[in-house]
Amino acid sequence: MNHSPIIFIAGMPRSGSMWTYNVCRRLITAVGKTPWPDEVPLDESPAIQHALSHPPASGQVYCIKTHFQIPVGKPHMRIICNYRDIRDATLSYMRFMKCTFEQALAAARGGMQLTDHYLESQDPNVLPIPYDMMINQPQQTISTLAGFLSIPVEAAEIENIAQSLSREAVARQLEKLKTDRQDIENSNKDSLAPGKLSSVPNLDGSSRLHDSSTGFQTNHISSNKDGEWRKAFSSEEQEKLMAVASDWLLRYNFIR
């Protein structure tokens, strides 16, 4: 290969993939290269097609976040698969998308299939990133990502990235988004002007605000700690979820 591989952050929804995506972009920047695309698109399909059919410009590294299924076994790709206890991911999806339990259950099925697609292959160019590791060992996670992507980075830079993308720092960014949304609503504008912010529909007909510079959206942090599903879901909902997820949970050591 005469250029950097294409980096896909392609794990299940609501498992920390946006954090991982921002870490990868920061790692690329830290070694003097430019991640492409330069902003986070709402629809990544055109970016994927471009990356698969055109080599990057000098100094560019393709870095794309997606929940589409990317083929494995390609030496010119590096795929990072975030994954999480599907019970927690389902609750998080339900809150983030403002949807019904049945809609979140359908998304859970897709998330489990996506994880299986990447991790069952045991391809050396696929890196699994458990949500617990990302939350509890952010610096170690960043170091692991840097090693997987063959990006030499100093310990001080790893610490800097971890601090700038800590849960508290991201929460402040989301609070700023919430303020921006209120300002927009108070201005009585019918739509957003083209630029950094755009509106994304939720499944209940409401909307959230998307920041194209980071990909973060209002309500992106939708739960405080794992295990909330035990109180949030009814007994009937838990039974339905376990009926479709028990084998998957066992396969990835989440039964506890």
Mean of the pLDDT values across residues 135-163?
96
pLDDT in tens, 156-166: 999 999 999 99
Query: Both tokens of residue 164?
Result: 């700038």
Query: What's residue 194's pLDDT?
Result: 47
Between CA 100 and CA 95 the distance in angstroms is 9
Sequence spans of domains, the chain: 6-168+222-251
To which H or E segment does residue 91 belong?
helix 86-97
Query: What's residue 255's pLDDT?
Result: 77
Class of the CATH domain delimited by 6-168+222-251: alpha beta
**CA distances from residue 119 to 12, 66, 127, 240 in whole angstroms, order as listed:** 11, 16, 8, 25
pLDDT in tens, 14-37: 999 999 999 999 999 999 999 999
Mean of the pLDDT values across residues 61-70?
97
Specify burial of residue 75 (Cβ count, 10 A radius: 0-12, 13-18, 19+).
Answer: exposed
Query: 46 and 91 in contact (C-beta within 8 Å)?
Result: no
Among 169-173, 213-217, 240-244, top mean pLDDT goes to 240-244
